[in-house]
Structure 1
Amino acid sequence: MTLKKLTLPELLKNSCSKFSKNLSLNFVASGKKTYQDLYNEVVSIANHLLHLGVKKGDKVAILSANMPNWGITQFAIANIGAIAVPILPGFCSTELQNILEHAEVKVIFVSRLLAKCLEGVKTPFLEHKILINNFATMPEGCYQPEDLDKLVPDINLNNTTPLPEVSIEEEDIASIIYTSGTTGFSKGVVLTHKNLVWDARQCRTIQPVDETYRFLSILPMAHTYENTLGLLLPLMFGAQVYYLDRVPTPKLLVPAMQKIRPTVVLSVPLIIEKIYKSQVLPKFTSSKLMSKLYRFAPARKLFNRLAGKKLMETFGGELKFFGIGGSKLDGTVEQFLREAKFPYAIGYGLTETAPMAAGSNPSQTFLQGVGPVMEGVQIKINDPDKSGQGEIWIKGPNVMKGYYKRPELTAETFTEDGWFKTGDLGSFDKKNRLAIRGRIKTMILGASGENIYPEEIESIINNFRFVNESLVVENSGKLVAMVHFNMEELEKQYQKLKDQAGNYKEKINDYIEEQKQELRDYVNARVNNFSKLQLVLVQHEPFEKTPTHKIKRFLYCK
C-alpha cells in the first residue's frame, strides 16, 4: 500500500478510490455500506463539524459503543485537521469530567446508552453534543434513552461539498487517548497520524490482509488495539468490518459468527479464557474417568484437537487470525489452543506505541511468548539480569509524541536518546523472539531480595477449580492471594457431595475453607520457595476492572 502521506485522510481517500464498491463498515444484522458510501458520510460529518466552528487542532471526543458511525466520525474529525479524543466506555463520571476538561473537548459524539454518563458533566469548553447512532443534535438535558429515541436526525449525510484545503501532515496530532491504567491514573497519550497509519500498515508484515477478509469487531474501538488493527488496517486494504448492534454476549456472538464467517477476530485473554473454562474444560472433567484421561498427555491432545474443530465451527469455520493482546494469556489455555490447532496469535504493544511493537501470526506462536519484533520497530532489553531479563525499551515511527500537557511525565518516560521505557519486563530467546514476564510496578520484592512476579502465580491460581479470577499482593511481609471463586459452581459441588454422602457434616463455609487450603497447597507445589502463598482470602465481589478488563491493582495493593 503506497500512500503519498501517512495520514488518516490520505488512507481514507486512497482506499475509497481503490475499493469504492467493496463493503466497508456495517452491522452484522443489517447494512450494505460501501467504501464510496463511507467516504460520502465522512465528508458530510466533516462539513457539519466545520459548520459548528471546529477547526484544525480542536478536540472532538467519541464516547460510543462499537458501530460503523464510530469510524465515520473518527475520519471526519481527521479530515478537517481536528484531534479525536476516543473515550473508553467504562470510565466513571469523574474520570469523564476530567478527560473532557483536560483535553479541552469542544464537541462530543456519544452513543444512546452512554449518553447518561454526560449528565452533570460540565466544562467551559464543551459546546455541542451529538448522538452518534443517527447523527442527531442533542439538546441540553437530553440524556435518557427514551428521550434520545425521539430525536430526529438533523445532520445532512448527503452534504458532499468538497472540504476546504487543510494542511494535514504526518507529525500532526491525530488523537489523544486516555489510558485506563491499572495504577489508577489516566494519561493522555498523544498519537500522530504517522504513528497510527504506519503501525496499521506494518501489521500487515505479520499477517496478510486483503479484500477477502472479514473482521468482526468486539473490543472497544476507543482502545488503540481495536482501532489500529480492527479499523485502520482492514480499511487500508479493502476488507470488511462488522459490528454487533448490542453488547457482544455469547448468545449474540455465535449467530453473528455463523452469519459473517469472520476471518479475523481481535480479543483479550479474558474472552478465550472464559470460553475454555466454561465450555471446554467442563466436558473433559465431567467424571473421574474423563478427568483422569484428560491428565494423560496423548488423550488430552486428542480431546483438545476435537474441541478445536468444534470451536472453529462455532467461529464460522473460516477464521484465519484470532489475535490476543492486552495482557498475558494463561499458560494452560494457550496449551489448549496450540493442541487444538486454533489459529490464535499473540501481539505485544501499548497505547503509547499505537499499539503493535511485536507479535506473531498463527504459524509463529510459541508457548508463553510473543514473537518477533515488528519490522521497522526497535526493541531492546535494558540492563538485563543473568537470565537476560530487563525492562523493555522501544523506538520506532509508532512511538507516541508524549503525554498531553505532561512534559515532566514525558521526560521521565523517554531516555535522552529517544527510547520509550515501557515499564514491562521481558527477554529475548535464542531465536530473537520476545517474551513478557510482567510489569515492573507489580513486581514484589521478597524477604531476601528475590523478584516475585504476581502475574505468574495468578496464572496458576486461575487454573484451580472454581476460581474465576485472582490477585496476588504483599501484605505485612506475607504473600497473599485474593481469590474470587465461582460460588455457584462451588455450591453445586458442595450439594453434590452432601447428597452423595447422606450424612455430610461439613457446612458450606467449612467446605470453602477446605477449598482455600487445597488451593494454597496446589499453588505452593507449583512455585519456587520464595513465591509460596502464606494466605488465601476470599474476594466476595468481582474485582473492579478498567474498561479494557484489567484488574485495578492499585485498589487492592495497599
Structure 2
Amino acid sequence: MKRTADFQTHSVDLEKRADGSMLMRSTHALTPTVERTGDWLHQWAETAPDRIFLAERSGAGWREESYADVLGKVRAVGAALLARGLDASTPILVMSGNGVDHGILALAAQYVGVPIVPVAEQYALVHGAHGRLREVIGLVRPKMAYVVDAEQFGEALALEALEGVEIVASRPGGRNVTAFDDLLKGDGGIDADEAFAGVTPDTVGKILMTSGSTSSPKGVLTTHRMMCVNQAQLADGLPFLRKRPPVLVDWLPWNHVFGGSHNFNMMLANGGSLYIDDGKPVKGLFERTVENLGLKTGTLCFNVPLGFGMLLKALKEDDGLRRRFFEDLDLVFYAGASLPQDVWSGFEQMALEVKGEIPLMTSSWGLTETAPAAMMQQEPAPRSGIVGVPVNGVTVKLIPDEDMRCEVRVKGPSVMPGYFNDPEKTEAAFDDEGFFITGDAMVFLDKDDPNKGMRFDGRISEDFKLQSGTWVRAAQLKLDMLSRLAPLVSDLVVTGADRNQIGVMIFPNVAELTREGFELTEADGAYACKLLQGEIHRRLSERAREISGSSTLVSRAIVLAEPPSMPEGEMTAKGNLNIRKVLARRAALLERLYTDDDPAVVTL
C-alpha cells in the first residue's frame, strides 16, 4: 500500500555478551543538533519570522503567535525573570494547563537558565489533590508560580505552601498577583544575550514530575541536551519532519513528557505550528476537539488509544471533517497502551478511501527519564503494539529470561542525569555500567531478525505469581482484557497475586454503558447489573475457549462503582493507574472479587 511519509529503515547491531545480556543499537549515525532550545527559536525567527508557532482558541478563531513574536516575548519575559533574581536554583511552578502564555513562560525560563516545573492542573483545581501539590512545592521550593486564571485557581493560590512565592497570572481577576503582561514589559537593565550565552547543554530546562504504576513521584532533571538530542533522533527516524514544517492540533498535557517535550519541541525543532486543542478525549470535552479540528487540521496526529477510538467514530460521522483530516496527514502516532487493532484498521481503511494512501502509523517507547523516545517503529508496522528499535545514539541493554522476554535498560545522551534532590533514587536508577533501569520488558517480534523490532511486554514490577507458582504478566494481560472488554471499560486492574485465579477489577465506561442501556445499581462500592454481568461473562467465556494455561485465564471480574481517585493517589498525573494504591484502598472489594456468592462478582 502506498505510504504518505518517508522513513529511516531499521538497521541495528545486536551484540550478544558472555553474561547472556545483549546490547542493541542503531547503525545509523545520530545527526548533530543544536545545544539549547532557544537556538531553535532563533533559527526560525530568522528564517521564517511570520510563520505561526503557537496558537490557542480565542473566540470563534485562534490567537496566533509567530516565531518572531514569540522570540521577542521570550526575551522580554526572560529579562523580567532575571530581574527578580531567578536562576538555576529557583524553579518556576506552572499549575495550569497548555496555553500560549504557558509556552512563552516555559521557553523564557529555558532561555535564561531557570527550570520550569509543570504539574497536572488537577493538583490545583481538585480540592482533594492539594496534598499532591504540596508535595511538589515542598520538593522544588519554587520562587514563582504561574496560573492562567487567578480566580479559577484561587483556592490553590491560597495554600500556605505558596506563601512568599510570587504568583503570576494571565488573567489576574483583581487578585493581588502579578499580571503576565507585566513580565512581557521585560527589564532594560538585564542583558538577555549574556544570560542565553550562559545556558549549556547540561543546563536543566525543566523538572518533570513522574510516577509509575507502583512508585512514588520523583522530579526528573530534564536538560537542554536531552530535549535537543531527542528531537534529532526523532527527525532522523522520521525525515519528513525536516522536509516541510509540520502542523499539529494537540491536547496532550505539557506536564507530561509526551505532550510537553516530545510534541511541543517537535514543532519548535522543525519550524512547525502548534495549535493547542482545549478539548480532551472525555465526555463533554471531546466535542471541543471536534470543533477545533473543524477549524484546523494538521500534518501529524498524536493521541492516546481512547482518543483515537473517539476520533475514529467522529470521522465516520462527518464526511467533510474526514476529508480535511486525512488530506495532508503524514503521521498517526499513538502512545500509552497499545492501540486496539480495530481502531488501527479503521484509520488505515479510511485513509485509503479518502486519499488512496496511508500515513505512517506508528508508536515509540520511552519514559520521562529518556526524554522520552528511546525506541521507535520508524518503518510501517504490520499491526498495532510494536515499539520498534533503538533511536540513533541510544544503546539498549536487554537481559533475557528463559522465554526471551527481556528486561530493558537504556544509555545515551537523551537519558536524564538523575532525579531532583534525590541522590539515593538516582543511584538506584542506574546499573554499574551506567544504564538506566527502566523496569519494562520487551520481546522480539522475530528472535532471528532484530530489525523487525520489539513489542512492549509489561512492567516487571507488575508481574505476580499465582498460588501454583505460575507467573502472570499483568501488563500484557491488561492490554488484552481492555481490548476484549472495549468499550465497556475505561481501565482495569489485573489481580491474583498469591491466589489461585486471575481476576479483574473494572473501572467502567459509564457514559458508554448508559448509552447502551445498562442500568447500573451500586452495591457497596460495586455495580450489580445482571445485563452487564452477562455481557462480561460472555466475553470472558469466549476468550477462555481461545486460550490455554492458567497464566492468562481470567475467571473473575467485579465492576467498581467509584472512579479512580487522583486525590487518593490511585491515578497519576499522566492518567495511569497506581496499581498498589488501587489494591490497597479497595482491599475489601478485592476480597469480594474472590468470594463465590457475591452478587456483584462475575465468575466462570
The reply to whether TM is greater than 0.5 is yes
The equivalent residue for 1:395 is 411
Matched, 1:543 2:555: no
Please, which of 205, 209, 218 is the counterpart of residue 187 of structure 1? 218
Map 1:367-386 → 2, pairs under 5 A: 367-382=384-399, 384-386=400-402
- How far off is 1:481 after superposition? 1.1
The equivalent residue for 1:481 is 504
- How far off is 1:93 after superposition? 0.9
Please, which of 298, 311, 319 is the counterpart of residue 262 of structure 1? 298
- How far off is 1:246 after superposition? 5.8
| Partner Cα separation in structure 2 for residue 326 and residue 512 of structure 1 | 27
- How far off is 1:367 after superposition? 3.5
The equivalent residue for 1:102 is 139
| Partner Cα separation in structure 2 for residue 55 and residue 509 of structure 1 | 58
Map 1:233-382 → 2, pairs under 5 A: 233-245=266-278, 249-275=285-311, 312-313=322-323, 315=325, 317-338=327-348, 340=350, 343=359, 344-361=361-378, 363-364=380-381, 366-382=383-399
| Partner Cα separation in structure 2 for residue 317 and residue 15 of structure 1 | 26
The equivalent residue for 2:591 is none
Deviations 1:89-139, CA, capped at 9 Å, x for gaps = 2332111111112112111111227624524433378520101x35x5985
Map 1:203-222 → 2, pairs under 5 A: 203-207=234-238, 208-210=240-242, 211-222=244-255
The equivalent residue for 2:568 is none
- How far off is 1:307 after superposition? 9.2
Aligned residues: 510
| Partner Cα separation in structure 2 for residue 396 and residue 238 of structure 1 | 25
The equivalent residue for 2:466 is 446
Map 1:15-26 → 2, pairs under 5 A: 15-26=44-55
Letter in 1 for 2:53: S
Judged with a 3 Å threshold, the aligned counterparts in structure 2 of structure 1 residues 225 and 538 are, in CA distance, closer, same or farther, namely same
**SS class of match (2:494):** strand
The answer to whether the 8 A contact 2:231-2:262 is kept is yes
Judged with a 3 Å threshold, the aligned counterparts in structure 2 of structure 1 residues 466 and 365 are, in CA distance, closer, same or farther, namely closer
| Partner Cα separation in structure 2 for residue 524 and residue 41 of structure 1 | 60
Q: Which moved more, 1:243-252 or 1:445-454?
A: 243-252
Please, which of 49, 52, 57 is the counterpart of residue 81 of structure 2? 49
Letter in 1 for 2:502: L
**SS class of match (1:130):** strand
The equivalent residue for 1:286 is none
Judged with a 3 Å threshold, the aligned counterparts in structure 2 of structure 1 residues 327 and 170 are, in CA distance, closer, same or farther, namely same
Deviations 1:346-400, CA, capped at 9 Å, x for gaps = 1111000010111124734644211122111111211x02332121111110000
Q: Which moved more, 1:367-376 or 1:479-488?
A: 479-488
| Partner Cα separation in structure 2 for residue 492 and residue 219 of structure 1 | 27
TM-score (norm. length: structure 1): 0.82
Gaps of at least 5 residues in structure 1 are: 143-147, 281-305, 497-507
- How far off is 1:517 after superposition? 2.5
The answer to whether the 8 A contact 1:195-1:400 is kept is yes
The equivalent residue for 1:173 is 204
Q: Which moved more, 1:25-34 or 1:369-378?
A: 25-34
- How far off is 1:23 after superposition? 1.4
The equivalent residue for 1:154 is 182
| Partner Cα separation in structure 2 for residue 414 and residue 476 of structure 1 | 30
The equivalent residue for 1:82 is 114
- How far off is 1:556 after superposition? 2.3
| Partner Cα separation in structure 2 for residue 475 and residue 519 of structure 1 | 23
Deviations 1:147-178, CA, capped at 9 Å, x for gaps = x9xx7943444767741513111112221111
Judged with a 3 Å threshold, the aligned counterparts in structure 2 of structure 1 residues 526 and 412 are, in CA distance, closer, same or farther, namely farther
The answer to whether the 8 A contact 2:439-2:460 is kept is yes
| Partner Cα separation in structure 2 for residue 215 and residue 17 of structure 1 | 22
Structure 1 runs of 4+ off > 6 angstroms?
A: 1-4, 306-311
| Partner Cα separation in structure 2 for residue 356 and residue 394 of structure 1 | 11
Deviations 1:68-106, CA, capped at 9 Å, x for gaps = 112211111112211111212233211111111211211
The answer to whether the 8 A contact 1:324-1:345 is kept is yes
The equivalent residue for 2:432 is 416
The answer to whether the 8 A contact 1:90-1:546 is kept is no
Letter in 2 for 1:232: N
- How far off is 1:465 after superposition? 5.9
- How far off is 1:3 after superposition? 7.7
| Partner Cα separation in structure 1 for residue 268 and residue 512 of structure 2 | 44
| Partner Cα separation in structure 2 for residue 246 and residue 535 of structure 1 | 36
CA RMSD of aligned residues (A): 3.2
The answer to whether the 8 A contact 1:261-1:317 is kept is no
| Partner Cα separation in structure 1 for residue 554 and residue 75 of structure 2 | 59
Please, which of 526, 545, 549 is the counterpart of residue 525 of structure 1? 545
The equivalent residue for 1:534 is 555
Map 1:424-503 → 2, pairs under 5 A: 424-428=440-444, 429=446, 430-432=449-451, 433-462=453-482, 463-464=484-485, 467-469=488-490, 470-474=492-496, 477=499, 478-486=501-509, 490=513
The answer to whether the 8 A contact 2:344-2:383 is kept is no
The answer to whether the 8 A contact 1:457-1:523 is kept is no
Judged with a 3 Å threshold, the aligned counterparts in structure 2 of structure 1 residues 465 and 263 are, in CA distance, closer, same or farther, namely closer
Q: Which moved more, 1:25-34 or 1:41-50?
A: 25-34
Judged with a 3 Å threshold, the aligned counterparts in structure 2 of structure 1 residues 253 and 38 are, in CA distance, closer, same or farther, namely same
Matched, 1:68 2:100: yes
The answer to whether the 8 A contact 1:137-1:153 is kept is no
Deviations 1:494-539, CA, capped at 9 Å, x for gaps = 689xxxxxxxxxxx84333423422331332344321212321111
Could you say which structure has the greater relative contact order, defined with CA pairs below 8 angstroms and 6 or more residues apart?
A: 2
Gaps of at least 5 residues in structure 2 are: 1-29, 124-128, 352-357, 520-527, 566-570, 585-604
Judged with a 3 Å threshold, the aligned counterparts in structure 2 of structure 1 residues 227 and 461 are, in CA distance, closer, same or farther, namely same
The answer to whether the 8 A contact 2:34-2:228 is kept is no
- How far off is 1:434 after superposition? 2.0
